[in-house]
A = this chain, B = another copy of it.
Amino acid sequence: MSTNPLKVTAVDASAAKPAKVAAKQKKSKKAEQFLLKTPKGTKDWADKDMVLREEIFKTLSDAFKRHGGVTIDTPVFELREFLTGKYGEDSKLIYNLEDQGGELTSLRYDLTVPFARFVANNSITNIKRYHIAKVYRRDQPAMTKGRMREFYQCDFDIAGVYDSMIADAEVLAVTCEGLLNLGIKDFKVKLNHRKILDGIFQACGVKEEDVRKISSAVDKLDKLPWEAVKKEMTVEKGQSDEVADNIGEFVKISGSIRETLAYLRSATLLKDSESAQQGIKDMETLADYVEAFGIDSYLSFDLSLARGLDYYTGTIFEAVTAGSAPPVDAEELKKRAQAKEVEDASDYVGIGSVAAGGRYDNLVGMFSNGKTVPCVGTSFGVERLFSIVKARSSKDWDKLSPSHTDVFVMAFGGGEGWTGFLKERMAIAKKLWSAGINAEYIYKGKANPRKQFDAAEKSGAKLAVILGKEELPTEQVRVKVLGQGDDSNEGELVSVDSFVDHVKEQLTTCHVDGVDVVARMVKNL
């Protein structure tokens, strides 16, 4: 329309992109050309991927609800001061909103700090809450190692004063159940306790002010050999050889909770560490509870697990699947590689844990002037779980439909005076919608049968309701089961008055519908 003032297209706008912006992107090797895309580190989700991800969300939220979880929704951005000082070195990855006059705010970095703010804000003393939502991290380089800048977390946390380790055991049970419900059987939950770890460091001779940085060196043991970690402790972080070697003896220990406990109990170096002894007592209690839940076989008490975040105060854990997980998303990867956003496909492999969490007893107190509410929680990494589920679902992928359409309404006719029955198709579709049935028809006045069958197949519909030139005037339609590879079968003739009931009945017998396919995929059946 000539009166539309929006004639400047995005493409034009880009052509006029100021040199300043281009200069900022000079590190990028690709030519500075307009690219119609999502911001770096973000992506669109659509089609079958979206259906699969929704089913994963449903599976996890069902697990959370099963354990009494209630859900909340907090704003995507928080007052900036609330995020400050919560993430250690990673604070530089926080996205700030522009100062447009008013409050200074930032996008949330995780769901844990907003949860603590929520608990303090609403003077909550106990809650089991789950929250499935996006978080934001300006990771650089964004696309290597499969790290996105916008990604989902699925968190379940228990806040409140309870008897020791009961909530910790339940959070571990939820973690195992979540993974099992996603058809992942081959996983281990590595488990440790910050008080034991801190006790070990202190007993080995690390000064209190060095504990967190030595902890972060130990945290790298899943990626680096001991020699490299030792070098970091001694050369970079100023510990003596003896201190490092002492630590080295401990952190190579892992096994069942009972086995590692036996080792710790016999460790003379820890006898006088109040912190370690308290942690050991906690783990003994926990051992009983995880046995009651029957999840002890999934757990590995691993003294090398340290976890990066500062706010943990007790149990910490990280679930890993056996072997390295597949690339984040093969198609996405290919696209990005073509756009030269990643150097190489191998940047993506070897992604880490699929769920992780721990106890953080002091975080709520930071928001409520010290009136603390102890918390423990778990967080599932959805993009990684998605990759695993998708990779193993390739054989059923073709059967998956992005839409939930059950019935396709068609008209057959032709010849002189043929109207195409558009209004009649609409009226029939309306009857189906009113009965709660998902139905589509082709948006054309007249369409040949082939086009309508093709559209029906694309929609994933299980049934066709066919309005025939001969049948409709006698108040009858045909109901035909689709996907039988037999288009000549004309289906069953039913009166317009009763076809809805007939359709309902037929649908209950169509086992292979889109939802079932995706449920089977996620459950790994």
Chain A residues at the B interface, C-beta cutoff of 8 Å: 1-6, 8-11, 13-14, 17, 21, 24-25, 36-40, 42-47, 50-51, 53-54, 62, 65-79, 81-82, 84-86, 88, 95-105, 107, 117-118, 120-122, 128-129, 134, 136, 138, 150, 158, 160, 162-163, 166-167, 169-170, 173, 177, 194-195, 198, 208-209, 211-212, 288-289, 291-294, 310-311, 313, 362, 365-370, 402-405, 422-424, 426-427, 430, 433, 436-440, 443-445, 459
Contact = CB atoms under 8 A, between A and B. Distances in A.
A430 B173 contact: yes
B367 A426 contact: no
Contact of A369 (B9, B40, B42, B71): B9
A8 B101 CA distance: 26
A4 B313 CA distance: 8
Given A54-B71, A289-B426, A445 B6 contact: no
A362 B136 CA distance: 32
Contacts of A76: 76, 107, 134, 136, 150
Contacts of A104: 21
B150 A402 contact: no
A287 to B, nearest CB: 11
Given A50-B72, A75-B39, A97 B98 contact: yes
Contacts of A134: 76
A479 to B, nearest CB: 18
A71 B50 CA distance: 7
A173 B267 CA distance: 73
Given A67-B433, A69-B403, A445-B163, A42 B77 contact: yes
B85 A72 contact: no
Which 6 pairs, one residue from A and one from B, show the smallest C-beta to C-beta distance?
A162-B443, A42-B75, A292-B426, A96-B98, A45-B73, A68-B440
B81 A14 contact: yes
A136 B104 CA distance: 15
B103 A40 contact: yes
A292 B369 CA distance: 63
A39 B105 contact: yes
Given A17-B81, A76-B76, A68 B36 contact: no
A208 to B, nearest CB: 5
Given A9-B365, A10-B82, A118-B46, A74 B38 contact: yes
Given A42-B77, A65-B438, 10 more contacts: A4-B313, A13-B85, A39-B103, A44-B122, A54-B71, A68-B459, A96-B97, A97-B107, A162-B443, A292-B423
Number of copies of this kind of chain in the complex? 2
Contacts of A107: 76, 97
A78 B1 contact: no
A3 B10 CA distance: 52
B120 A65 contact: no
7 contacts: A8-B366, A44-B118, A50-B73, A75-B150, A77-B150, A291-B423, A294-B427
Nearest to A437: B66
B103 A25 contact: yes
A380 to B, nearest CB: 17
Nearest to A404: B65
A297 to B, nearest CB: 14
A10 B81 contact: yes
B3 A198 contact: yes
Contact of A44 (B36, B121, B195, B459): B121
Contacts of A404: 65
B3 A211 contact: yes
Nearest to A98: B96
A86 B292 contact: no
Contacts of A437: 66
B121 A362 contact: no
A210 to B, nearest CB: 9
A436 B59 CA distance: 11
A327 to B, nearest CB: 20
B70 A362 contact: no
Contact of A2 (B208, B294, B423): B208
A248 to B, nearest CB: 21
A121 B335 CA distance: 12
Contacts of A209: 3
Contact of A440 (B67, B79, B438): B67
Best-surrounded residue of A45, A81, A162, A430 (most CB of chain B within 10 A): A81
